Amino acid sequence: MIFTFPIKKNKDFLKLYKKGKYYVAKYLVLYALNNKSNINRLGITASKKFGGSVKRNRIRRLIRESYRYYESQLKEGFDLVFVARSCEELPNFSEVKKEMKYLLKKLEIFKEDM
């Protein structure tokens, strides 16, 4: 069973931005770094450029729920940060889920081929 812990400290986010690999999609950017442990850590950010607090919290909830959907199929030992990209319209759940699958596949983090 995989347990995912939150990334809360600013220094952890900055370390991922500086040293991690990143992959870009239409609505999301994924920063990833191997953390040399048997747990995954997840961070989610949405800047003020994205919109008001309602819009930012909505996209964070969509990202968190999409991650939860794929969590059991992921390898352990990664720090992941999803950054919401500013866009005209707010994506729906299926778009976020599809994009997250695309980014995680590029990272080759799935246990078995999907």
- What is the predicted pLDDT for the residue at 114? 54
Strand ranges, E, within the chain: 4-6, 21-24, 28-34, 40-46, 78-84
For the chain, the domains span 4-107
Q: Are strands 4-6 and 40-46 parallel, antiparallel or unpaired?
A: parallel
- Tell me the per-residue pLDDT of 4-54, one tens digit each, with 9 for 90 and over: 899 999 999 999 999 999 999 999 999 999 998 889 999 999 989 888 999
Look at the domain 4-107 and name its fold.
Answer: Ribosomal Protein S5; domain 2 (3.30.230)
Confidence of residue 1 (pLDDT cuts 50, 70, 90): low
- Tell me the per-residue pLDDT of 45-104, one tens digit each, with 9 for 90 and over: 998 988 899 999 999 999 999 999 999 899 889 999 999 998 888 899 999 999 999 999
